[in-house]
Amino acid sequence: MSIALREVEMQDLPVFFRCQQDPQANYMAAFTAEDPNDWEAFSSHWRRILADPENVNKTIIQGQSVVGHIASFEMEGEREVSYWVDRAFWNRGIATAALKELLLLVTTRPLYARAAKDNLGSRRVLEKCGFVVTGEGSGYAHGRKAETEEYLFTLR
């Protein structure tokens, strides 16, 4: 799978917003925005994260298309990764290729990630990139409006 990562441009945000609005993807990701249809909240969130130099945010490009985004950020002193791919492009190896590329740019180890226990696609992406399950937890997930169990993954 040939993809490229580039800096996020403002014109990418409507594509990311459309991805966030997808009910199936939103359920799968679980730990998402309170209201996936709130553009104001979405765009102010993106303005904030793009302004923080500690964050790495990349747009995933395949061919000429914006197909998703991938990020690395600090959460309570630990560096995590997360990603989101447009449902039209799922199961083509895009998230795996994007994460492999990101791991060349973000060299902090250990590196962490979280996935809802039933998010089998994301779990598989993490395992293909060398992450292993090192913990579990649960929290309220807006994408499901329910307490949801998750795994903590670590790349050493």
Ligand X SMILES: CC(C)(COP(=O)(O)OP(=O)(O)OC[C@H]1O[C@@H](n2cnc3c(N)ncnc32)[C@H](O)[C@@H]1OP(=O)(O)O)[C@@H](O)C(=O)NCCC(=O)NCCS
Are the CB atoms for 111 and 83 separated by under 8 Å?
no
Contact positions with ligand X (CB under 6 A) in 84-123: 84-85, 90-96, 115, 119-122
Q: Is 130 in the site for ligand X (CB under 6 A)?
A: no
Is residue 24 helix, strand or coil?
A: helix
- In the complex, least distance from residue 39 CB atom to ligand X, rounded to whole angstroms: 19
- Interaction mask 31-70, ligand X, x per CB under 6 A: ----------------------------------------
Q: CA-CA-CA-CA torsion for 153, 154, 155, 156, nearest 10 degrees?
A: -160
Nearer to ligand X, 38 or 90 (CB): 90
| Cβ closest to ligand X, residue 43 vs residue 80 | 80
Distances in Å between the alpha carbon of 110 and those of 89, 134, 139? Answer: 29, 11, 23
Q: Where are the beta strands (DSSP E) in the chain?
A: 4-7, 56-62, 65-75, 78-85, 111-116, 132-141, 146-155
Q: Which token pair is 89?
A: 């492009």
- Does position 25 bind ligand X by CB under 6 A? yes
Q: Which is nearer to ligand X, 85 or 102 (CB)?
A: 85
Tell me: does residue 144 bind ligand X (CB under 6 A).
Answer: no
Instruction: Please select the residue that binds ligand X; options are 21, 43, 57, 82, rule is CB under 6 A.
Output: 82
CB of 58 to ligand X, least distance (A): 14
Residue 5 in contact with ligand X, rule: CB under 6 A:
no
118 in Cβ contact with 106 (< 8 Å): no
- Which residues on neighbouring strands pair with residue 149, listed in sequence order? 138
| Binding-site ranges for ligand X (CB under 6 A) | 25, 28-29, 82-85, 90-96, 115, 119-122, 124-125
